[in-house]
């Protein structure tokens, strides 16, 4: 049967109107490194940075490795939970679908990744921040095709964004003599380069719809167990800590500036540097018995760069600040998250009151309600 063109056009516009709405929830999109990775690197077949062996994940769910570089939850897990938001799955998780994206958001964080493209090249495969933003754009195309442009814009503008990168740009780039950046720059010029790059990335995210965005600052990286082992005195590396402080200061200024100048932007910066520094100096005050060596370690062989099945675990995992040479334990992440929540001041989300795109459909959608 041949239908008149006018009929087809009307039908198409009705169809477009029908799909250009969505009982969209507020979800999160997370950009980060191993501190926020929830499994992306497990699907990068050639990556040398993976948390896919015991005893990673021992205090999370079924206790099997899940891609998180800690024994339990990440800082972003804990903050998202406190805000009443679902935990977004890893972008590379094969079970990710358009419905899952609309319901839970996406996490692009990748162990070894940095603000700079060249950071972490020793790990062979990792998703740098620019790559993570490309994958976010691909996600936007999927959502637009599913719900229509107007509803998609609303969905992405109501979402919460987390950006938590920077440690690797120092530890797995600038501070390692095998990387070109270590001799091309000095402390000051490297931090300018890093923070300018981050500024361009945050503006790009804003142009893609990000409005409520949190940037996590760095902790005292010179005090992670790996750095203590590498230091001649066995103490924290002051130079490395000073780099973290300078990065935090410059990034705080950047984020405040963007929040004032970009339309409708509510961009916040927060760090837990001071609190972590205090815990490391006074572990007992916070209920820790150890704040200078990893709970999961390979006997006396230090540094053991990762936690492996042959490693020995500390007796009480809740009393160790560090889980492995680089990453805090679940209990430590709780302290960091609490401090960040205080700094950000974002209120918990009430999904019942969450703004939904376009008029509510008269009939509940058939999928997940």
Ligand X SMILES: *[C@@H]1O[C@H](CO)[C@@H](O)[C@H](O)[C@H]1NC(C)=O
Q: Which is nearer to ligand X, 157 or 249 (CB)?
A: 157
Q: Which is nearer to ligand X, 201 or 311 (CB)?
A: 201
- HSE toward the beta carbon, residue 7, CA cutoff 13 A: 4
Q: Is 327 a catalytic residue?
A: yes
Phi and psi for 68 in degrees, rounded to 5? -80, 140
Tokens (6 digits) for 302: 């230090």
Phi and psi for 340 in degrees, rounded to 5? -65, -40
Q: Which residue has the tokens 């939850």?
A: 73
Q: Of 23, 33, 181, 324, which is the active-site residue?
A: 324
In this structure, are residues 69 and 51 in contact, taking their beta carbons and an 8 Å threshold? yes
Distance CA 297, CA 121 (A): 25
> Which position among 13, 97, 117, 261 is part of the footprint of ligand X (CB under 6 A)?
117
Tell me: does residue 353 bind ligand X (CB under 6 A). Answer: yes
Q: Is 297 a catalytic residue?
A: no
Tell me: does residue 4 bind ligand X (CB under 6 A). Answer: no
Q: Of 327, 329, 330, 356, which is the active-site residue?
A: 327
Segment near ligand X (CB under 6 A); pick from 73-81, 126-134, 216-224, 296-304: 126-134
Burial status of residue 347 (CB atoms within 10 A of its CB: 0-12, 13-18, 19 or more): exposed
Distance CA 176, CA 167 (A): 13
Distance CA 309, CA 246 (A): 37
Q: Which is nearer to ligand X, 132 or 241 (CB)?
A: 132
Q: How far is the CB of 15 from ligand X (least distance, A)?
A: 26
Q: Of 34, 246, 297, 311, which is the active-site residue?
A: 34
Tell me: does residue 185 bind ligand X (CB under 6 A). Answer: no
Tokens (6 digits) for 368: 């997940």
Q: How far is the CB of 76 from ligand X (least distance, A)?
A: 21
> Which position among 352, 355, 362, 364 is part of the footprint of ligand X (CB under 6 A)?
352
Tell me: does residue 134 bind ligand X (CB under 6 A). Answer: yes
Binding site residues, ligand X, CB under 6 A: 117, 130-131, 134, 263-264, 350, 352-353
Residues serving a catalytic function are: 34, 324, 327
């Amino acid at each position: 049967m041949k239908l008149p063109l006018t009929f087809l056009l009307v039908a198409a516009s009705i169809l477009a109107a029908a799909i250009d709405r969505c009982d969209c929830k507020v979800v999160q999109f997370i950009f980060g490194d191993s501190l926020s990775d929830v499994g992306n690197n497990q699907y990068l077949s050639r990556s040398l940075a993976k948390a896919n062996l015991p005893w990673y994940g021992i205090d999370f769910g079924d206790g099997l490795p899940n891609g998180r570089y800690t024994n339990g939850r990440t800082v972003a897990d804990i903050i998202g939970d406190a805000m009443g938001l679902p935990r977004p799955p890893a972008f590379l998780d094969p079970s990710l679908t358009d419905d899952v994206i609309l319901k839970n958001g996406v996490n692009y964080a990748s162990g070894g990744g940095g603000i700079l493209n060249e950071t972490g090249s020793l790990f062979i495969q990792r998703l740098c921040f620019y790559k993570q933003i490309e994958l976010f754009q691909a996600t936007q195309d999927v959502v637009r095709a599913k719900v229509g442009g107007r509803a998609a814009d609303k969905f992405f503008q109501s979402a919460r964004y987390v950006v938590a990168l920077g440690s690797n740009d120092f530890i797995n780039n600038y501070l390692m003599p095998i990387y070109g950046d270590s001799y091309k720059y000095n402390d000051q010029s490297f931090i300018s380069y890093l923070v300018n790059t981050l500024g361009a990335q945050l503006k790009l995210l804003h142009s893609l719809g990000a409005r409520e965005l949190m940037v996590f600052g760095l902790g005292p990286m010179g005090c992670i167990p790996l750095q203590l082992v590498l230091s001649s005195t066995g103490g924290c590396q002051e130079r490395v800590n000073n780099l973290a402080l300078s990065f935090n200061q410059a990034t705080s200024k950047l984020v405040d500036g963007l929040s004032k100048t970009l339309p409708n932007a509510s961009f916040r910066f927060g760090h837990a540097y001071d609190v972590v520094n205090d815990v490391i100096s006074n572990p007992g005050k916070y209920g820790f018995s150890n704040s200078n060596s990893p709970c999961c370690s390979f006997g006396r062989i230090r540094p053991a760069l990762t936690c492996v099945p042959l490693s020995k675990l500390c007796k009480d995992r809740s009393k160790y600040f560090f889980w492995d040479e680089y990453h805090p334990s679940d209990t430590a992440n709780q302290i960091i998250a609490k401090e960040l929540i205080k700094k950000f001041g974002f209120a918990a989300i009430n999904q019942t009151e969450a703004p939904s795109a376009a008029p509510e459909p008269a009939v509940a959608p058939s999928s997940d309600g």
